[in-house]
Structures are given as structure tokens and as C-alpha cells.
Amino acid sequence: MPAADNPCFNSGRWAKPATSDSRTTSVGSAAINRFLRPVCYQELPQAMLPASIKDGNPLGIRRLIGGQDQR
């Protein structure tokens, strides 16, 4: 089975998008945008935050905070 590609179209007589919604696609890697949702961690205690966004950056992930590159 081939991997998802950007963008994927249904085959047929004419190349047609895989959805009637012109803002998104139903197939391919861009389809994930249809299912994403914003998550807010405002005022959540540090102990409950995922390690990737804790203040101390325990995983050493490269982040941009307040316009400053931090690691």
C-alpha cells in the first residue's frame, strides 16, 4: 500500500478532490488538519504538564519562547 502523499486525489475521469470542503482534504498527510484541536494548558500546575512543555524543559527540546530560541 502506498504512503499518503500531498495532496491525494480520487482517480476517475477527472481529477477530483477527495472532499467537497475546499479548505481540507480527506486523504493524504494534509487530512490530519481536519482532526486537530487546539489545547490550552493555561494555569495548569507544572506537575500536570507534559514534559515537553514544562518550564525547566527537562527533555532539552528546542523551543521558541517569547521570540527567544531556548533549549
pLDDT tens digit sequence for 18-61: 566 666 666 667 677 777 777 888 999 999 999 988 998 999 99
Closest listed residue to residue 35, CA positions, set 43, 25, 50: 25
Work out the number of other CB atoms within 10 angstroms of the CB of residue 70.
11
Give me the domain span that covers residue 51.
45-71
For residues 4 and 21, membership in a common domain is answered with yes
Q: Are residues 1 and 32 in the same domain?
A: yes
The confidence band for 2, taking pLDDT boundaries of 50, 70 and 90, is: low
pTM: 0.43
- Cβ atoms of residues 9 and 31 within 8 Å: no
The number of folded domains in the chain is: 2
Residues 30 and 55 in one domain: no
Residues 8 and 29 in one domain: yes
